[in-house]
Amino acid sequence: MIKDISNLQAKLQALVLSQQGLHAQGQVADYIPALAEICPKKIGVSIATIDGNTIGAGDYKIPFSIQSISKIFGLVMAMNRIGDDLWQRVNMEPSGQPFNSIIQLEWEKGIPRNPVINAGALLIADVLTSRFSSSKLAFLSFMRTLANDETIYIDKHVYESELNHGNRNAALAYLMKSFGNIEAEIPELLSHYFTQCSVAMNCEQLANSLLFLANKGVDPKTKKVICSARDAHRINAILSTSGMYDQSGEFAFSVGLPAKSGVGGGVIAIVPNYGVICSWSPPLNKFGNSVIGTNLVSNIAQELGLSIYH
């Protein structure tokens, strides 16, 4: 556990300063116009630990669109709702293809390769849309409960931007529907998916909301069981193999932590029995992962000697 918070605080601030100017190595996700408007120079990082400490540096209290990091929370809700039946409809293997690949989904007859590529997340959104009377409200309520913060909101501007430029996701959903693997009506499913991607949170809120995955499924703040220890293990395993898109293998090799990125520039990393690291910087590398955000998580893990493979 963290013993000297002031020392680590200084290290985080130094790490943020060391990354200044590196935003030019990446590019913001301009295929979603609302994300293209975000200042590329923003950098934030936060660490939350299961023993109750939270620290941050830089722009760690500025909300951003969590995008694909939302797939973790949707997966937890779906696993809790339908259990192992979920794995009849989505696999748990690395994809080896871009996160929005249509070709792979066609080859595999509408069964997504894993729940954290877009097709898999749309399948999860179908489970939620079909089994909650108001899935969007249920999702937002879940996020607020986990973060213990009622101010968390849906960014309507990002939502509208996604809805107007989400044709590829619509294609994935209709393709799965054609194979009989989608139950809900596609417009309703897409509305849920774009809503969860448009949840706005800051690094501190995100780090705290994911502590249950570092604590065998139990929220260390409230002692509430969010998911079973087995499901926490499974989610961390999926994040280790697939959470950083086509950079997942390299990230596991060099950093060694279950992680998930989002095209809004966020990166989260789970440190079992320790805590959660969350970083944010909008410019992305060619894999769709934050350039600076990935650097920060890697540097912190190295600095603190954090890896699940020790």
Q: Which are the contacts of 105, defined by CB distance < 8 A and separation ≥ 6?
A: 112, 119, 172, 175, 176
3-state DSSP assignment of residue 269: strand
Tokens standing for residue 74: 């949707």
The type of residue at 173 is A
Residue 188 token pair:
């309703």
Instruction: Encode 113-136: b = buried (16+ Cβ within 10 Å), e = exposed.
Output: bbbbbbbbbbbbbbbbbbeeeebb
Kindly list the distances between the CA atom of residue 229 and the CA atoms of 81, 166, 215, 219, in Å, as whole numbers in the listed order.
16, 35, 8, 11
Q: Enumerate the active-site residues.
A: 68, 71, 193, 245, 263
The separation between the first and the last C-alpha atoms of the chain, rounded to the nearest angstrom, is: 16
Question: Taking the CA of residue 276 as centre, how many other CA atoms within 13 Å lie in the half-sphere pointing to its CB?
Answer: 29
Query: Please, are residues 143 and 202 in contact by the beta-carbon 8 Å criterion?
Result: no
Phi, psi of 38, rounded to the nearest 5 degrees = -75, 140
- Residue 165 to residue 171: CA distance in whole angstroms: 12
